[in-house]
Structure formats: C-alpha cells, structure tokens
Amino acid sequence: MAQLNIVKAGEVKSQNIRGLPKEAGQIKRIVSTENFFFNVDEIEPGHSPHHWHTHDQYVHEGVKVEYPADFEEIYFVISGQGVVQWKTESGEVKEQQVGPGDTIHMPPDVVEHQLLNNSTETIRIAVVGVPPPRKTPV
C-alpha cells in the first residue's frame, strides 16, 4: 500500500516562467508523477505562464518537451484576474476574462491558446496536466 505524500509550500522550489526573468512570475511544480502534474503558478501583470501554444511539442533550454495526444490541462484561478485567449480554425482571436474560482479546461487537441495576466495584480493559478509531457535532452 502506498504512503500519502504531504508537500509543504515552503519546501517547493520556484522556477522562472519558460524563457522569462524571475520578475515575470514563478512556477512551483508541487507534484509530478508518471500520471499527472500539479503546479501553482504566480504570473505577474503583462505575462503568461505559457505564451500562444498548442499541446504538441517545443524545445527549451536543451530539453525537448512532447505532449501525449490525449494530454488535457486544467487551470483553476485562485486569485487575480486574467484573460484566456484562443484562436479559431479561421485564425480569429477570441477571449474571455477569468478570475477567482474560474476553471479553464484544455481538452486533448486544444486550439492555440494562452492565459494572459492583463490586470495590475499577480494572478495565481493551480494547474493540473494529465498525462504529463515527456521530456528528453536534445
């Protein structure tokens, strides 16, 4: 029988948002297993935890990240305000404001999208991804 795992907030090391300086915000990878990952992201005004993207693959800092075809992701807004933006098949940009208590679900094969902090305060989100992307050195 497996033991439960308690992760204390002060014990989790923060990481910079991909390709941005610390001032843009921080990502805390709380739990990562073969089945899912759970982060808490704090994104500063004018920034996004992951700029315009689809869930396929990218290379960053010598690591290739590949998403499985059935990858799904959920953002839960803990505090702050932002805007979810997505592109239709014709390339039109749509958007919707989100705030505390709102949940954003990105199903498998989701369109190009981003969450942008367009407010004057930090947005804090809980992020779950299932199954996690595969990371390999390049």
pTM score: 0.92
- pLDDT over threshold 90, residue 128: yes
Domain ranges of the chain: 27-99+111-119
Strands (DSSP E) contained in the chain are: 14-16, 25-32, 37-43, 57-60, 63-66, 72-79, 82-87, 93-98, 103-106, 113-116, 123-130, 134-137
Say what percent of the chain tops pLDDT 70.
Answer: 100
Can you tell me the mean pLDDT for 35-48?
96
Closest CA to 127 of 90, 96, 82: 82
pLDDT band for position 10 (cuts 50, 70, 90): confident
Q: Which tens digits make up the pLDDT trace of 85-126?
A: 999 989 999 999 999 999 999 999 999 999 999 999 999 999
pLDDT of 20 over the 90 cut: no
Confidence check: pLDDT of 18 > 90: no
103: three-class secondary structure by DSSP: strand
